[in-house]
A and B are shown apart, each in its own frame.
Chain A
């Protein structure tokens, strides 16, 4: 693998950019691997990277039915924060934040990580009390958090309206200064390139259609490009997690919903940070291309069609215009949807299963992007050692039997 650096850029610039190589190898499926990862999104590729890098497992493959990063990885609004209420969540999301900080350097790939700060707005007294409680909980867990009054919110984010007569007035917000956004494609490509360089096969346009077991243990997978023998199958299929689990007869506490986002025409820099409002269900930041990136809530019904209803967008734009009146004069350029895998307690599943050698990572719902490196890190550990590490332990499937849920839904500020 050629490193990327300034000298290289100069040399290529002077010689007509003819020397660049593809960032990762296009691999053909082999007859067998030590482990197979289903799903080439951010989490699947991160899992492969850490399996190779930290556990020496390089005879492995990532199998992706479309192209890598074509799922939720390529459709999300990339909001990154770790200000969750409970200890178990703070541990995994803050671990991710820590890994994000060093990832461009570690991967030698610019993931355009921007720690521009994330505001979570409060629109009524009850919400303000709950958010203040969360600030204190965050601080106890070493998560950067502070409370801003309405005037301070306006100073931190000038385009916002804090008009007291608004239908949902802004009465304050939490701020996580080291939260922010990054570039989704760069994360996917950076992990793919680094994993591929260590020998991981990345196989695109190949769908896993079956999983063979013998005496309760995985022996092979079937794909649209043939059978592959393996004793370890790690499912990281986001919206399709239930479908993959169904291949070994497992039922999961997951339901798949459409989630939409949209972007405006490009503008000069206007939004200095990320703003999120749970009460009115709107999230906005500005991409480095200048587009305002706007996320919505999920559609209530289950679906695997990557679209969603116009009513959701209407609702969200109405709220957005209240918060940011200047948006009413903008044109929206593109809208799309992804399929998110939602757990009843709004926390993920990183778990082994009753089928030996079959591991599940899913249920990240509307907010898994921020966890990508930590999810891959913890899942690689589980797949390599067959036991969850301290970070993954609270997120096993057993919690749905014991009742030991990590109930982040009720804890507010869980969307994205």
Chain B
């Protein structure tokens, strides 16, 4: 459950918002020689990172405006909120030590955390 700070209305409960998916995906300019693969990449392929994700949200039960957010998908930490058209700010995130690993805290996944060689437990 998140509390999201709408850049226009302030702090509101997650249930007031609709999700808009990955942000900053630009529709490619049409070209005569554009390949199907290029189109497929725009339409279907997604970054889906375990880490910092730039995403769009819409304040559906409020001002009904879209905005962008940076969130760490390994912990659900909200790192920044910024308006459509702005560039994502630089942020720091608590990332997992390995690509599929678990972040130091807050992931909800402690039970499946891998014990690395040398670590107790």
Give me the interface of A with B, judged by CB distance under 8 Å.
Answer: 65-67, 70-71, 205-209, 224-225, 237, 240, 242-244, 246-247, 251-256, 300-307, 309-311, 337, 344, 400-403
B38-52 vs A, CB cutoff 8 Å, 1 = contact: the mask equals 001101111111100
A309 to B, closest residue via Cβ: B1
- Asked if A242 contacts B1 (CB within 8 A), the reply is no
Residue numbers in A under 8 Å from B18 (CB-CB): 300
A226 to B, closest residue via Cβ: B117
Complex partner residue of B76 from A70, A305, A401, CB under 8 angstroms: A305
Residue numbers in A under 8 Å from B1 (CB-CB): 309-311
Complex partner residue of A311 from B15, B36, B109, CB under 8 angstroms: B15
Q: Please, could you name 28 A-B residue pairs with CB atoms under 8 Å apart, sorted by A? A: A66-B112, A66-B114, A70-B112, A205-B115, A207-B114, A209-B99, A224-B98, A242-B47, A243-B48, A244-B100, A251-B47, A253-B40, A254-B46, A256-B73, A301-B71, A302-B48, A303-B73, A303-B76, A304-B73, A304-B74, A305-B73, A305-B109, A309-B1, A309-B2, A310-B1, A400-B43, A400-B44, A401-B36
Task: State whether the Cβ of B68 lies closer than 8 Å to any Cβ in chain A.
Answer: no
Does more than half of chain A's interface fall in helix, strand or loop, or is it mixed? loop
Does more than half of chain B's interface fall in helix, strand or loop, or is it mixed? loop
Most buried by B among A247, A307, A402: A307
- Asked if A311 contacts B14 (CB within 8 A), the reply is yes
Q: Add 5 more A-B contacts to A302-B55, A310-B1 (CB < 8 A).
A: A208-B100, A224-B98, A253-B44, A301-B71, A303-B73
Residue numbers in A under 8 Å from B2 (CB-CB): 309
- Asked if B100 contacts A207 (CB within 8 A), the reply is yes
Which residues between 13 and 58 of chain B lie within 8 Å of chain A, taking CB atoms?
A: 14-15, 18-19, 21-22, 36-37, 40-41, 43-50, 53, 55
Q: A66-B114, A344-B44, A402-B36 are in contact. Are A307 and B99 (CB under 8 A)?
A: no
A65 to B55, CA, bound (A): 28
Most buried by B among A244, A246, A302: A302
- The 10 A-B pairs at the shortest CB distance, nearest first, are namely A253-B44, A242-B48, A300-B19, A66-B112, A251-B45, A307-B108, A401-B40, A305-B108, A400-B44, A311-B15
